[in-house]
Structures are given as structure tokens and as C-alpha cells.
Amino acid sequence: MSTETLTHDEHHDHGPESGLKRWLFTTNHKDIGTLYLLFSLLMFFVGGAMAMVIRAELFQPGLQFVDPAFYNQMTTMHALIMIFGAVMPAFVGLANWMLPMMVGAPDMALPRMNNWSFWILPFAFTLLLSTLFMPGGAPAGGWTMYPPLVLQLGDAFPFLIFSVHLMGASSIMGAINIIVTIMNMRAPGMSLLKMPLFPWTWLITAYLLIAVMPVLAGAVTMLLTDQFFGTSFFTASGGGDPVMFQHIFWFFGHPEVYIMILPAFGIISEVIPTFARKKLFGYEAMVYATASIAFLSFIVWAHHMFTVGMPLSGQLFFMISTMLIAVPTGVKVFNWVATMWRGAMTFETPMLFALAFLFLFTIGGFSGLMLAIVPADLQYHDSYFVVAHFHYVLVPGAIFSIMCAVYYWLPKWTGHMYNETLGKWHFWLSTIFVNVTFFPQHFLGLAGMPRRIPDYSTQFADFNWISSVGAFGFGLSQLLFVYIIFSCIRGGQKATDRVWEGSHGLEWTLPSPAPYHSFETAPEIR
């Protein structure tokens, strides 16, 4: 029997594969999942530290701590690290841990490639972070890398491009692995429409990744040849067009947003039925809604570009198609609420994070609809309203769902229960501070404060200091998260085999009657 099909417990035997060698050469999906999750946690704090620099500078008007060039480097690096280093590897880590078990496979289909796809990442981010110490400094052209700004970077530029290529290669390998595992290694009798929702959302996400990562690779390679090989793809003086870069970039960039949220939908679809003690409402509708969102994500990219001077017919098409995405998203939100309806709900930490996701992600969705309206977008574009919008999607959306998944599956991963009281403290601190941080930014944007600036007019001072206080509160709250995880790994109360029922007295043998639809028996027809 090969090592990759051993159980996780057998892997812990301190034989020749123990220590550093075990982690370097492992092909066990659980080990690789753990590596992804720990790497993502590290990058979450590195990217978070950069956000703290940004918010410290914006605490009051004037230039306090950093010069404008370094401030721009921080906004660029914060975004690249949070997207490619924190959110995406965390979802891939969760997929590595849970997918084989959810579809009944002994491991991922391509275990050695799995190991390789992880170990590319530390090198990619070492390259990216090393640009901070180069002459001229780190990339400061925004995470979107728009020309001509990004072409003025100096020594850091080729390192930025190479690190983006490495991140893309890692993502594509991970996606291929997930597709092959789901398609070829499902348990006998498990048709696609019998799969749990988390594998479904990841299957769709993996196809998105394979479709759009090469587009990003092409765009950044064209930037590279413009800089070093005399081409003029995006250089106006040579007959090129910088707006073409925006089209290519956002054709990648918009599906990328859904790559960061579809696995979150899968997690929420696992957690809510567990704590509502009911089956997921409208399973097939959820699958088709996810597929519809993925399809529509390819035809809405230019809503990021309403201000470039596109024809009216283009603006109308992208406005209407963007609004259309709200329909399948609304179906999902409706189904989650319907799942909870008349359920026997309890509110452990994973459920709290799932509920916060439901409310706060919906706020991000509504502000996205506002940005889809062309005449309004001309006012909101490149203002703090946009910053508030996408942070409401990514922090209470993607990051809360990752935290939700960690609390939900920690007992399964470690065999121990985490400290529920501390988990709830972490939830409430995170939820309060995330709103204190990002809600005022809607008002700043509507009042006209542009994004990506280190200094601002005094009229914006009040909301900015509130936002900065919230950001530092949120950042410090995450130290509690790390403490909870590591104290759970070290030991604690043993988890039972029915962790969300048996150990908390949540069986149906409660004094109150079972809910009307218990799914134990067919409901009466009334």
C-alpha cells in the first residue's frame, strides 16, 4: 500500500518520514491541506500588517508615518497577498482536507502534483515580498498592474510578473487535481447530483480557475514584453492601447472574484443545514445557481470599466448582465434562509459565522448592484464606496466563511473541541470591528473621497478615524483566532463522533417536540 493511502493517524508514526522530511515530501491530502491552511494564516497576518500601515496613515489627515510611494506599495502588496496568498490557498487547503472524504476517495487523484502545487507558493511569495527590499521599492501600480503606471516600477517589475506566473501555475495545478478527483474518484453510486455542495462549488470553481488563470498570465507576459522586448501592446506611443489591458485583466479579474466566493457558498451550504438540523432547501437549485453565477461571471467584466469611454450599447449590456448575476445569488440566499426556517437551530461559533456571512455578504451584494448602475457608477468609481463594497464581499464573505469552516471542521481535524467561549468572543469582536471598519467607508465614498490616496481633505477625518480604530480592533481580534486554533491542536476536550450533536446535548431527545419536518418520517400531507 502506498504512503498516500495511509490514514492520517498512521502518518503520525515517528518513522523515517517524521519531522521535516514528512512535511516536505508528503503526498497525503490531509498534510497538504494543513500546509495550505497554515501558509494562508501566515499570509493573512502579513497582508493584515500592511492593512494596518494603510489605516495608521489614514487615521488623520496629513502625511504621518510613510511617504506616498511606500503607501502605494502597501495598497498593492496588501491586495496581492490577501487574494493570492490568504484567501485562495485557504480554500484550496479546505478542499484538500475535505474533498476526498466528501466524495469517498482515498486521496487526491494526483498526490505528487498536489505537493508541488503547494511548495510553489512559498517561493512565489518570497519573490513578491523580496521586492520590498529592491531599489525603487515594491510594486506600486495597484494590484491591477495597470500600464503605464506598472511599467515604471524599476527592478521589482520582473519579480512581480514571475511571482504572478508562479501563483497562477499553483492554482491551475490545484484546480486540475480537484476536477480529476471529483470526476474519477467518487464513491460507487455517488452521481454528481448526490455530491455534497462543497465539492460541487469547488468543481465549478476549478473550471473557472483553469479558464481564467492563463488570461492573467497572457496579460502580464504582454506587460513584460512591452517593458523589455520593445513590443507596444499597451503603449500608446507605439500604437498600443492601455484600455486593452483593462479588458484582458478584468476578463480574468471578475471570474476571480467568484473563485474567491463560490467555495464560501459551499461551506455555508454545509454549515447551515447542520445547525438548523434540516436538509438543505432546494439542493438542485443551489447547484444550478452556482453554475449560473460561474457562467455569468464571464460576461460582466467591463462593469469595472464604465469610466473608460465605452459605447452606450456596451455600458447597457454590462449593466444588465451584472444585474442578472443578482438572480442566482438571491436564489442561494433565499435557500439558506428557507433551510433555517422552522429548524431546531443552535448557535455555536460556526453557525454564528455562517449567519454573519448571510447578512454582511448580502450588504456587499446590494452595494455591488448600486455599482452596476452606469450613471451612479460614474460617481462611485474609484471612490471609497468601491473599497467598502469589495471588502464587504471579501472579509465577511470569503474570510468569515473560511473561519466558519475552520471552527466547523477543527474537531474532525484534531480530535479535540476548540474553546467554544473563546470562539464566540472571536466571532463577536470580528463582526463588530469589521462593520466599524468598512461601513463608514460607504459614506466616505458617497461624499467623494477617492481610493488609494495617503492624504485627504479634513472633511473626511471623522469617518476615517472610526474606520482605522475598527481596522486595528479587527486585526488584534485575529490573534485570539490563532490562540484558539493552536490550543485546540495541542489538546482539550475530546471530540465525539457526532461532535455537533452528542457532545452538546443536541439530539432530538430534547424536552421540546421535534420540528415539524424532522426528515425522519415523510411529512403528512395536509
**Domain count along the chain:** 1
Q: Which of 274, 402, 407, 405 is nearest to 339 (CA)?
A: 274
Asked whether 353 and 264 are in contact (CB, 8 A), the reply is no
Q: Is residue 16 part of a domain?
A: no
Q: Is residue 199 part of a domain?
A: yes
CA dist 66 → 71, 82, 142, 225 (Å): 6, 21, 17, 32
Q: Is residue 99 part of a domain?
A: yes
Residues labelled catalytic: 78, 107, 143, 170-171, 254, 256, 258, 269, 303-304, 329, 332, 451
Instruction: Mention every residue, 6+ apart, whose C-beta is less than 8 A from residue 38.
Output: none
Q: Is residue 367 part of a domain?
A: yes
pLDDT tens for the chain, 526 residues: list them. 444 444 444 444 444 457 889 999 999 999 999 999 999 999 999 999 999 999 999 999 999 999 999 999 999 999 999 999 999 999 999 999 999 999 999 999 999 999 999 999 999 999 999 999 998 888 888 899 999 888 877 789 999 999 999 999 999 999 999 999 999 999 999 999 999 999 999 999 999 999 999 999 999 999 999 999 999 999 999 999 999 999 999 999 999 999 999 999 999 999 999 999 999 999 999 999 999 999 999 999 999 999 999 999 999 999 999 999 999 999 999 999 999 999 999 999 999 999 999 999 999 999 999 999 999 999 999 999 999 999 999 999 999 999 999 999 999 999 999 999 999 999 999 999 999 999 999 999 999 999 999 999 999 999 999 999 999 999 999 999 999 999 999 988 888 878 887 334 333 333 333 344 444 445 455 4
Record the cell numbers describing residue 111, joined without a space: 498526490
Q: Which of 50, 265, 87, 74 is nearest to 167 (CA)?
A: 87
Q: Is residue 288 part of a domain?
A: yes
Q: Which CATH number goes with the domain that contains 327? A: 1.20.210.10
Q: Is residue 17 part of a domain?
A: no
Q: Is residue 519 part of a domain?
A: no
Residue range(s) defining the domain that contains residue 124: 3-10+27-509
Is the four-CA dihedral 322, 327, 331, 334 of positive or negative sign?
positive
415: phi > 0 → left, psi -120 to 50 → alpha, else beta; which?
left
Q: Is residue 357 part of a domain?
A: yes
Transcribe 308-348 into DSSP letters. Answer: G---HHHHHHHHHHHHHHHHHHHHHHHHHHHHHTT------
Strands in 109-245 per DSSP E: none
Instruction: Mention every residue, 6+ apart, whose C-beta is less than 8 A from residue 491.
Output: 416
15: phi > 0 → left, psi -120 to 50 → alpha, else beta; which?
beta
Residue 17 has a pLDDT of 58
Asked whether 67 and 170 are in contact (CB, 8 A), the reply is no
